[in-house]
Amino acid sequence: MKNTFVVLLSLFATSVFAGECDINLESTESMAFKTKEIVVNKNCAEVTLNFKNNGTLPKAVMGHNAVISKKSDMNAVVNDGIAAGLKNNYVKTGDKRVVVATTVIGGGESTSIKFKPDTIKPNEDYVFFCSFPGHSAVMKGIVKLV
């Protein structure tokens, strides 16, 4: 019994809790994210980005997504996303600058996507944002790698 306890303790010490590999991001009822910072744990093999739109309007009117890229790439990703349109979730197909992007969802909807945190380089500044046209001016925040 005592040995089992020691083994369990060492497992906890060396592995990352599943909860730390989940990012729970939500929009407010209006055009904003609830947080200005998300934390990505680089020790996770995979991170799950959960995103919930707490608004009420359909996605064509006030849809939101969550996209991660380098800060320096954000404007270009957004501009190419506008050209790509809602049918492509306002992200250019195969955009290599995008670490991860959820689909665009309407009010009351949720979505989830996994990505590998090693695609985020430690020496660069990354941001998360909504690429719906006009939203990234206010719907954005910092991605912190820990």
Give the shortest CB-102-to-Cu ion separation in angstroms: 11
Least distance in angstroms from the C-beta of 134 to Cu ion: 8
Distance of alpha carbon 112 from alpha carbon 103, whole angstroms = 9
Based on CB atoms, which residue is closest to Cu ion, 64 or 92?
Answer: 64
Q: How many residues make contact with Cu ion (CB under 5 A)?
A: 5
Contacts of 115 by beta carbon, 8 Å cutoff, 6+ apart: 46, 47, 49, 68, 99, 100
Residues numbered 97-136 forming contacts with Cu ion, rule: CB under 5 A: 130, 132, 135
Q: Which amino acid is at 104?
A: V
Q: Which is nearer to Cu ion, 49 or 130 (CB)?
A: 130
At closest approach, how far in Å is the CB of 132 from Cu ion? 4
Pick between residue 117 and residue 132 the one whose CB is nearest to Cu ion: 132
Q: Which residues of 39-76 are buried (b: 16+ CB within 10 A; e: fewer)?
A: ebbeebeebebebbbbbeeebeebbbbbbbbbeebbee
Site map for Cu ion, 51-70, x if CB under 5 A? -------------x------
Q: How far is the CB of 2 from Cu ion (least distance, A)?
A: 54
Residues that bind Cu ion (CB under 5 A): 64, 130, 132, 135, 139
